Amino acid sequence: MSSARSRMEDVAARAGVSVATVSRALRDSPLVSDATKQKVLAAAEELDFAVFRAASALASGRVGRIAVLISGPVRAWFNGAVLDGLYDGLRAAEHELSVYRVTSLADREAFFGTLPVRRNADALVVTSFALTTDERDRLSSIGMPLVYVNQQVEGLPSVSIDDAAATRLGIRYLVNLGHRWPAFAQVDARIGFTYSALGRLDGYRAELAGLGATASDVRVLRARGADDGESVVAQLLGLADRPSAVMAESDELALSIMAAWTRLGLRIPDDLCVLGFDDQTLAETFGLSTVAQPVTELGRRAAAMALQLAAGEEPAQREVLLPVRLVLRRTTAALRR
């Protein structure tokens, strides 16, 4: 408690050992005897000592820090959920997280232009968008390990779900309820970002085709943003053979569709079944049926993998695929004939 900003030297003096021993004891090195560890720990406690990480990083070359690139703001539910997982996974390893938000092409260029992580992170986690070959080359030329979240890239370390399969699961469920054929609602792709929505769209198409739907049964509805359910509803109502069910690429879009639909006095699930994707907080509140993906777990696994790569180890599994599950609530029901 006493000294406010004590150094390792002070701890060493108090414990009656050298700074080298203190350093080793605090990191629980097997080179230090148990008795000495006790003494050192006690002295550190009494002096209220905490390692100055900058000095440690300089001496060891390891900065104890993972960087993450997220697409969009932190307040977007998906980003928050991934970050929670990353923090969970890093906490035990006493690593920190540096968050870089990328919302525009300019941001992205700025990041790769200056590559601020260069010597300031031990590994980089990239969520929700693919890197160009150039960007990848630059990272590997500086020896920065890379982990993808929310997408797979041939042979590179990644943690994700199978977006296509997950969507097929949802579509199959709707079809089994008698809906011939469900539509699929999607936000227009962000420029310059490849994005798991592609896999979901593929899954939708593939499943319909597999179940015997024809080309004209495939109805993809476009929104200008995740809160633009209104456009989706307008397209829905304008369709010749109006679908009795729609699956949205995200819960946020699904909720927006629900709001626009009920605002017109129409009912859910009676007049339209809605199926979401994610299982975010408010899905339960509004009784939204959805394909749940374990987003926070994605983050945890990514953290673990990044730590392994940073330590120079080869992860047991380079491409981790986590399971999704169908969560049935009150926005889906069998087609009334």
- Residues engaged in binding DNA (CB under 7 A): 7-9, 16-21, 23-24, 26-27, 30-33, 35-36, 49, 51-52, 55-56, 58-62
Residue 308: C-alpha distances to residues 11, 81, 101, 276, 318 (Å): 31, 22, 24, 34, 11
275 backbone dihedrals φ, ψ, rounded to 5°: -125, 130
For its own copies, the binding residue among 20, 92, 106, 142 (CB under 8 A) is: 142
Distance CA 102, CA 106 (A): 8
Alpha-carbon distance 215 to 18, whole Å? 76
- Which residue among 13, 46, 101, 329 contacts its own copies (CB under 8 A)? 101
Which tokens belong to 248?
Answer: 């949205």
Taking a C-beta distance cutoff of 8 angstroms, is the pair 66, 97 a contact? yes
CB count in 10 Å sphere of residue 86 = 28
Site string for its own copies, 152-171 (x = CB under 8 A): --------------------
Binding string to its own copies for residues 267 to 296, with x set by CB under 8 A, is what? --------------xx-xxxx--------x
Nearer to DNA, 60 or 140 (CB): 60
Contact track, its own copies, 206-245, x by CB under 8 A? ---------------------x-x----------------
* Residues 276, 327 contacting (CB under 8 angstroms): no
What, of its own copies, DNA, none, does residue 81 touch, CB below 5 to 8 Å by kind?
A: its own copies
Least CB distance to DNA at residue 163 (A):
40
Sign of the CA dihedral running 100, 105, 110, 116: positive
**Is residue 35 within the footprint of its own copies (CB under 8 A)?**
no
Q: How far is the CB of 98 from DNA (least distance, A)?
A: 17
